[in-house]
């Protein structure tokens, strides 16, 4: 089956991040349909317009990596009912300068986990709003994962069958949407070439 190139962005800089664990599990569940690469964001300096004249190497690496794909999966914690600063910072770098906004036209899915009962629902709403404003096509539906110890094991396997089935459905739907959009993009490009 055709695979879609996927950038995975984890909105946590914590070594033992439960969101990274969830992201690894999702990459495993989707490995038949996605070629996934994890994008580092915790080495980016705080956004500062003064750095625009000579963007730091870590920023260029980050934006190049995102710009090279059409499809992005965000797996993020919720911090104080919004997204963590480390993730907002990365999004801000990617959004500027406006004519090189790397989020524009991206096919995006959002999920996240926290030990809390509503599993990042409010933070995800903020992220959806930000990415929509930046021109991403954010997949509908909801995937708020309430994390219990051991939910994802060391190897990235989801241990609860009902959660595993739910996440498999989520990643499968995302792959279907992303594949359709890639095929559509390719068809449009081919048509543009033949009519030029």
When binding is defined by CB under 6 A, the residue of 7, 9, 12, 111 that contacts ligand FNR is 12
Among 4, 19, 59, 93, binds ligand FNR (CB under 6 A): 19
17 binds ligand FNR (CB under 6 A): yes
85-95 helix and 57-67 helix, angle to the nearest 10 degrees: 80
Task: Find the DSSP H helices in the chain.
Answer: 18-29, 57-67, 85-95, 121-133, 161-195
Selected from 48, 53, 54, 80, the binder of ligand FNR by CB under 6 A is: 80
Check: CB of residue 104 under 8 Å from CB of residue 135. Answer: yes
Q: Which stretch binds ligand FNR (CB under 6 A): 36-44, 91-99, 109-117, 184-192?
A: 109-117
State the nearest-atom distance from the C-beta of 149 to ligand FNR, in Å. 11
* Residue in 43, 68, 81, 186 binding ligand FNR, rule: CB under 6 A: 81
- Residue closer to ligand FNR (CB basis): 36 or 151: 151
What is the enclosing helix (H) or strand (E) of 184? helix 161-195
**18 contributes a contact to ligand FNR by CB under 6 A:** yes
160 within 8 A of 142, measured Cβ to Cβ: no
Task: Answer yes or no: are the C-beta atoms of 7 and 70 closer than 8 Å.
Answer: no
Q: How many angstroms separate the CA atoms of 37 and 148, rounded?
A: 26
For residue 192, the minimal CB distance to ligand FNR (Å) is 42
């Amino acid at each position: 089956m055709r695979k879609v190139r996927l950038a995975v962005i984890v909105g946590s800089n914590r070594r033992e991040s439960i969101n990274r664990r969830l992201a690894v599990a999702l990459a495993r569940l989707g490995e038949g349909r996605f070629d996934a690469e994890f994008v580092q964001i915790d080495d980016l300096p705080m956004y500062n317009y003064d750095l625009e004249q000579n963007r730091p190497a870590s920023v260029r690496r980050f934006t190049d990596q995102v710009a090279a794909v059409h499809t992005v999966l965000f797996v993020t914690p919720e911090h104080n009912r919004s997204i963590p600063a480390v993730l907002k910072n990365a999004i801000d770098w990617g959004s500027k300068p406006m004519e090189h906004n790397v989020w524009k036209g991206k096919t995006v899915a959002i999920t996240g986990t926290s030990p809390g009962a509503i599993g990042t629902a409010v933070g995800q709403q903020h992220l959806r709003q930000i990415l929509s404003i930046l021109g991403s096509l954010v997949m509908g539906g909801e995937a708020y994962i309430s994390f219990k110890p051991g939910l994802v094991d060391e190897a990235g396997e989801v241990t609860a069958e009902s959660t595993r089935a739910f996440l498999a459905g989520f990643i499968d739907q995302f792959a279907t949407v992303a594949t359709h959009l890639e095929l559509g993009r390719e068809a449009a490009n081919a048509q543009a070439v033949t009519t030029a």
